[in-house]
Chain A
Amino acid sequence: MFRYTPILIIGLISIMFTSLSAQDQKILPYPIYQQKLANDLNVVTIPFDSPGLAAFFIVVSVGSRNEIEEGVTGFAHFFEHMMFRGTDKYSREEYNKVLKMTGAGANANTSLDRTIYHMTGNVDYLEKMFDLEADRFMNLKYSEHDFKVEAGAVKGEYTKNFASPYQQLYENLLNTAFESHTYKHTTMGFFKDIVDMPNQYEYSLKFFDRYYRPEYSTIVVVGDVTPEGVNELAEKYFGAWQRGNYSLDIPVEPEQKGIKFFHLQNGSIPPYLSMNYKAPAFSDSKIDMPAIDVLNTILFSQNSVLYKKLVVDEQKLRFLGGSATDSRDPYLISIDASFVSKDDFQYVRNEITKAIEDIKKNGVDPKLLQETKSNLKYSYAMGIDNPSAIANSVSHYIYLTGDPESVNRLYALYDEVTIEDVKMVASKYFIESGLTIGTISADEKGGVE
């Protein structure tokens, strides 16, 4: 069996990088066209070879991060539901009927920092999609009764989610790790607030007025389209959308001063450990986040030393993974492990810490660093083979920075990450005083230090 020497591998990888970026130096190998309307609505078009098909996304910069008032957590997500409740022009029934005729796959989802509305379908219906979306984004109108009824569906969603102990762990994690910032609650919101939602009709009107505005939104169209055609539709249907004047003041999370623990007593699933460090906010110009991504990939991929030891050889763990979430404000780097036996909680916690400390001191192997950059780039390139996947990817960067080109800048930054950068982020962010540890087991206490 022929084996590559390390030097050969590095040579090979640099060839591959050239190959991956042969058409274009950018990770997204398609030109991004942007046009800002007079009302500040940004319109992004990416022509893509998908005959007859287009993905139409609207990214609104509103998520659970925006829920600053007490008692009304979960509203960004609730609003995602309300957006399907109709207007004077298209009642809920009429909206459904017209959308059904287009045959599009349409839905929406909400996260920490954004709500995304998306439709993918026959490009011949693109104008109809613009018409439907512009109408509800500008003229949404629902009765107080409809509002109260929809709150029940949100509770239904919470009910199905809450069946999972992992969801319960996540809810507890945010509530423990954060003190002041709105990341303290999940996108679903605190359950007491969900139960109280039907009473918040007036607040809902205020919420719509604040955030469903052109300056908070971006349109993304990917597929069998031209920028001229898309811009024309955007102007025609969204040109009259009025700017708002709300600016958001989010509480700043104080620096965490010591390690925090929480535990869920639940013997119905395999024991679970979640270690969470405070991460920086996303940036496409600072090296910190790209270096953290590199570090997490090195530490927790299936080829990592830790994975080989704890999962493959010693078989203490059923699963090990770690990653940082891209977010507008500082959020979390999460390391998760599912166990065969809870007796190994402390051992695994120590092994993970040891591996991190080792990198702080000794850095990482240059070959591994090079391979990691290759891994990150090829992972991305493999995932963008249809209009919806591309629209989804650029939407991610739009809500983080407002600019879809951030994806290209981020991947260019990965190339610049050095061993020193990896050591730096390990020392700066993977610190005990910023750590929150959660556990699930049949025991009354987690028993991890």
Chain B
Amino acid sequence: MKALIISLILTGIIMAQEVVELKQPNSTKVVVKLMFKNGSISDPVGKEGLTNLTAELITQGGTGELSFSDIQNKIYPMAAGYYSSVDKEVTIFTFEFHKDWMEEFYPILIGLITNPSFNEPDFERVKVNQQSYVDQVIRASSDEEYSKKALEDFLFRGTNYQSMVEGKSSSVNSITLGDVKDHFKKFFTKNNLMIGIAGSYTDEYLNKLKSDLSKLSDVMPEIPAAPNVKISDGIDIEIIAKDGAFGSAIFAGYPLPITRSDDEFAALMVANSYLGEHRKSYGKLYQMIREERSMNYGDYSYIEWYNNGGGNMVPPSGVPRQSNYLSLWIRPVQIAKQLKAQYEELKDINIGHAHFALRMALREMDKMIKNGISTEDFEQTRAFLQSYIKLYVTSTNQQLGYLMDSKMYGRENYINELGELLSELTLDNVNNAIKKYMQINNMKITIVTDVSEAEVLSNSLKNNLSSPMSYSNLVKAGLPPEILKEDSETENFKLNVKKVTVIDSKDTFK
């Protein structure tokens, strides 16, 4: 540490920088997060994926002094870790290391950010991976993730939010190493950086970090504004026909004019949690579609972007966005081809469960909009959230991440402030927020399904055909009358569908 102090003296005056600190002297580790307020929205047209490729090349490349493999050798005994994450509006580099290695790891951390090697072989390696992600992996590895990314493409079409952060087939292909170097200089600068540090670091360490990061490019980056997307007129659906899909994976959504910045967000959060809390059996959608009818693995609603919902139980930090939307996630439901093969009594059906599931989800949301929620549901859901939001920040990494995100929304400590907002809420606040922000008539929907299901589903949706639920006899025999009654009301529930398009999976993300 002595070396660090001497270096500090030599460096002289340190510029005022945006720093978020979380001192935890008893912790055995240190977490550093460097957040550049620059995400995929600043990718040039035709070069979508450039910000992500730049960030990946930094973490998958070397420094001026050390190659990627040299770094791996050095950090091996430390088990230190680092990675980048890119979203629409931010790029974050996270470094986690044990306090024992604070000094040894420092040159790697600072070298990667201020002096990345950006060489051709590393570039080729990283680009091949990103290319195969946009060409193949996104379409083939999870239909749920595919339908989610496809919804963003649909919802934000024609704007700088449209593309996946990884880009699309043609744009990734056109990115050169020169583009990366240029992009780094223009958009990863000391003028759009927020420094976050947590754990058992010292003041000297932080001062050294601040000093060295002030050597980043001095360019004032021109970050484009986040898009202001208009709500669609009616329900517009894109069905992605994929060869060999085992079910129908559904995502629906529409733009939402508020974010965590607004105090009213807390009221909407209660409504959303009641309707479809992520991965919880308390949500109405989950209870109706999964628990009572066992149509799929789960059904949830969201009022902000939720990264990797299949893997995360609580919302991860690092995805602050100004352009927001509400979404519904209906996990894959059965298609006719599978149901026919499984149950003799269903051999004559020609459509699976997607249309019915969608109707059920929207009808349930509609009921909430029309009736509001009850005092009891309000009290229960609020009590749940008051405790549950504290679980968002149990690890040092998440605590720091949430504090940094707070700044992006003009808040100091979102989780604490949210706790206060929740405690001040009234039932009227929640029911007013529902009326103001929730609706079912105008939205965009993507459905990834099997080729055999696509056209018949399209026809059913387009013409609002009746879509009775097709249960196996085993289940049907025991269904109580109230479920059957609800089903018969749901199967003809009119959706405000204006347009349905079937797209070949091969033509997505081109």
Please determine whether chains A and B interact with each other in the same assembly.
Answer: yes
Interface residues of A (CB under 8 A from B): 1, 9, 13, 16, 19-20, 49-50, 52-53, 84, 92, 96-97, 99-105, 107, 120-122, 125, 143-145, 148-153, 155-157, 159-160, 162-166, 195, 198-199, 266, 268-270, 301-303, 307-308, 311-313, 315, 318, 340, 370-372, 374-379, 381-382, 385-389
Contact residues of B between 58 and 86, Cβ < 8 Å to A: 65-66, 68-69, 72-73, 75-81
CB proximity of B169 to chain A, nearest CB, Å: 14
B333 partner residues in chain A, CB cutoff 8 A: 156, 159
Interface residues of B (CB under 8 A from A): 26-29, 65-66, 68-69, 72-73, 75-81, 96-98, 100-101, 107, 121, 124-125, 128-129, 132, 136-137, 139-144, 245-247, 249, 279-282, 287, 290-298, 310, 313-314, 331-334, 338, 342, 380-381, 383-388, 390-391, 394-396, 472, 474-475, 477-479
A375 partner residues in chain B, CB cutoff 8 A: 76-79
Q: Is the CB of B291 within 8 A of A92?
A: yes
A120 to B391, CA, bound (A): 8
A340 to B132, CA, bound (A): 9
Q: Is the CB of B28 within 8 A of A96?
A: no
A270 to B298, CA, bound (A): 29
B334 partner residues in chain A, CB cutoff 8 A: 155-156, 159
CB proximity of A151 to chain B, nearest CB, Å: 7
A125 to B383, CA, bound (A): 12
Q: Is the CB of B76 within 8 A of A385?
A: no
A312 to B125, CA, bound (A): 7
CB proximity of A390 to chain B, nearest CB, Å: 11
CB proximity of A74 to chain B, nearest CB, Å: 14
Indicate which residue in A20, A99, A165, A199 contacts B100 across the interface (CB closer than 8 Å).
A20
A52 partner residues in chain B, CB cutoff 8 A: 390
A56 to B390, CA, bound (A): 16
- What are 16 A-B pairs at a CB distance below 8 A? A100-B383, A103-B387, A104-B391, A149-B292, A149-B294, A152-B294, A153-B290, A153-B294, A156-B298, A156-B332, A156-B333, A160-B247, A340-B128, A371-B76, A378-B100, A378-B101
Chain B residue nearest to A270 (CB atoms) is B132
Q: Is the CB of A105 within 8 A of B391?
A: yes
A301 partner residues in chain B, CB cutoff 8 A: 72, 76
Q: A308-B69, A385-B27 are in contact. List 12 more A-B contacts (CB 8 A).
A: A50-B394, A121-B387, A122-B390, A152-B294, A159-B246, A160-B310, A160-B332, A199-B474, A315-B121, A340-B128, A379-B79, A385-B28
A215 to B390, CA, bound (A): 34
Q: Which has the most chain A C-beta neighbours within 10 Å: B128, B385, B390? A: B390
Q: Is the CB of B475 within 8 A of A149?
A: yes
Q: Is the CB of A311 within 8 A of B313?
A: no
A266 to B137, CA, bound (A): 12
CB proximity of A86 to chain B, nearest CB, Å: 11
Q: Is the CB of A382 within 8 A of B98?
A: yes
Q: Is the CB of B72 within 8 A of A302?
A: yes
Q: Is the CB of A164 within 8 A of B383?
A: no
A376 to B76, CA, bound (A): 9
A318 partner residues in chain B, CB cutoff 8 A: 128-129, 132
B296 partner residues in chain A, CB cutoff 8 A: 153, 156, 159-160
B388 partner residues in chain A, CB cutoff 8 A: 103-105, 121
B76 partner residues in chain A, CB cutoff 8 A: 301, 303, 371-372, 374-375
A160 partner residues in chain B, CB cutoff 8 A: 142-144, 247, 249, 296-297, 310, 331-332
A267 to B66, CA, bound (A): 37
Q: Is the CB of A101 within 8 A of B384?
A: yes
A20 in contact with B98 given A100-B384, A143-B478 (CB within 8 Å)? yes
Q: Is the CB of B142 within 8 A of A164?
A: yes
Q: Which has the most chain B C-beta neighbours within 10 Å: A96, A143, A376, A387? A: A96
A16 partner residues in chain B, CB cutoff 8 A: 77, 100-101
Chain A residue nearest to B279 (CB atoms) is A107
Indicate which residue in A50, A151, A266, A340 contacts B294 across the interface (CB closer than 8 Å).
A151
A318 to B281, CA, bound (A): 38
Q: Is the CB of A84 within 8 A of B380?
A: no
A195 to B141, CA, bound (A): 23
A105 to B280, CA, bound (A): 9
CB proximity of B72 to chain A, nearest CB, Å: 4
A164 in contact with B141 given A101-B380, A145-B479, A303-B69 (CB within 8 Å)? yes
